[in-house]
Amino acid sequence: MDSPIPTSSTRRRTLIVTAGVLVALAAAGSFAYRVGHYARLIQAGSITRSDLAFLSNYTPSAVASALSSGTTSEATDRASAPALGAPDAKVTIVEFADFACPFSRASSFTMRSLAAKYGDRIRYAYRDFPLGELHPDALGASIAASCAGTQGKFWEYHDKLYLSQSDLGAARLKALAREANLDLVAFDACVADPSVRTAVLEDYQAGLEAGVEGTPTFFINGTMIPGAIPEDILDGLIERALAQ
pLDDT more than 90, % of the chain:
59
Q: Strand 59-60 vs strand 122-128: parallel, antiparallel, or unpaired?
A: unpaired
Q: Quick one: pLDDT at residue 57?
A: 84
Q: Quick one: pLDDT at residue 44?
A: 59
Q: What is the pTM (predicted TM-score) of this model?
A: 0.80
Chain-wide mean pLDDT for the chain? 84
Least confident stretch, 53-57, 187-191, 193-197: 53-57
Give 220's contacts (C-beta < 8 A, 6+ positions apart): 42, 91, 92, 93, 237, 241
Least confident stretch, 49-63, 125-139, 191-205: 49-63
Q: Which domains does the chain have, with CATH numbers?
A: 49-243 (3.40.30.10)
Q: Quick one: pLDDT at residue 133?
A: 94
d(CA 152, CA 134): 29
Give 16's contacts (C-beta < 8 A, 6+ positions apart): none
d(CA 93, CA 241): 11
Q: Quick one: pLDDT at residue 31?
A: 47
Cβ pair 107, 216 in contact under 8 A: yes
